[in-house]
Structure 1
């Protein structure tokens, strides 16, 4: 998720300074994606440069709050109206890792799959445990985020099962192909018509 739009959404609620924005972001997302305060202030500076927020005067505590501008509201409304595309998501490190493991000598791809499956199942158990501890008054945004995390990990485990099955099929087909062609190759190398 773009921090830019997260901060704009929070500023739509009302003016706030960096530490308030970080706390509100983590509260809204159940701290699923912790923000570095440096990221917050760097993003606020860019938003100010782009005319999407404006700084207000320092308050008595020396903090400088920001407020969203009309241009910022327009950008936020457009962001909410635009679906997230696959191209906007970060690279899938696991898919890249498995693709590279397949072409790297000496790497046991099935071991890589199993290691990831073990970690994913542990994560799934932890997310499920967190969700089961939620009280009736739990924040709906936090519950939706934990559900999204659970569904993603479940999908990852299914994909890892698919990868392992595909690897086994490929290995079986490669073994069958080599046993079928081996006798022909052997016949080609046997000298014919020679006597001992």
Structure 2
């Protein structure tokens, strides 16, 4: 997730201070990715050093600094929107790594690991479906984020089904009860 680009997008319509950016980011993403206010300000500092944002005047009476996007920031934002996100550039998938390691670790019941994850994925899918039902028709950004999360949860369940099918048909190291990993 690019917090940097998200903040630039939120600054595109006009200057804002850190807490506004935090609240608007969370509102735009349906609070799916809550931000720590320290993360917002450290990102703003990096953007300011990079010439993509600048302080817009002096701090107000409450000490809040208002930030504005610069032409360099607008170009960075345009480049980001114009560049597709390659699947290979996304962060490592912890679940895929976990299952890959489980296959070769003595004492691990890989089927149980898959089943545990499936229960969690199904629970998430149910929660997301309820959340989706409550999104107002005019909240397009939130609906798109939640749709993405629903599709990812559905894809995870499908992938876990495929993993389980592979476990049934592909020989893999036997696990021994005495070697159980705890």
TM-score of the two chains, using structure 1 as the length reference: 0.85
SS at match of 1:63: coil
Establish whether residue 37 from structure 1 lines up as the match of residue 34 from structure 2: no
Q: Which residue of 1 aligns with 2:111?
A: 110
TM-score of the two chains, using structure 2 as the length reference: 0.91
Q: Which residue of 1 aligns with 2:69?
A: 68
Q: 1:92 to 1:174 in 2, by over 3 A?
A: closer
Which structure carries more helix by proportion? 1
Relative contact order (alpha carbons < 8 A, sep ≥ 6): 1 or 2 greater? 2
2-structure distance, mates of 1:98, 1:64: 46
Which structure has the bigger radius of gyration? 1
SS at match of 2:4: helix
2-structure distance, mates of 1:149, 1:60: 40
The structural deviation recorded for 1:13 is 1.5
The structural deviation recorded for 1:41 is 0.5
| Number of residues of Structure 1 aligned to a counterpart in Structure 2 | 173
Q: Which residue of 2 aligns with 1:170?
A: 170
2-structure distance, mates of 1:25, 1:78: 20
1-structure distance, mates of 2:13, 2:89: 26
Query: CA contact under 8 A between 2:28 and 2:142: conserved in structure 1?
Result: yes
Q: Deviations over 1:106-164 (max 9, x none)?
A: 00000000000000000000000111223334x11101111110000000000000000
Establish whether residue 84 from structure 1 lines up as the match of residue 85 from structure 2: yes
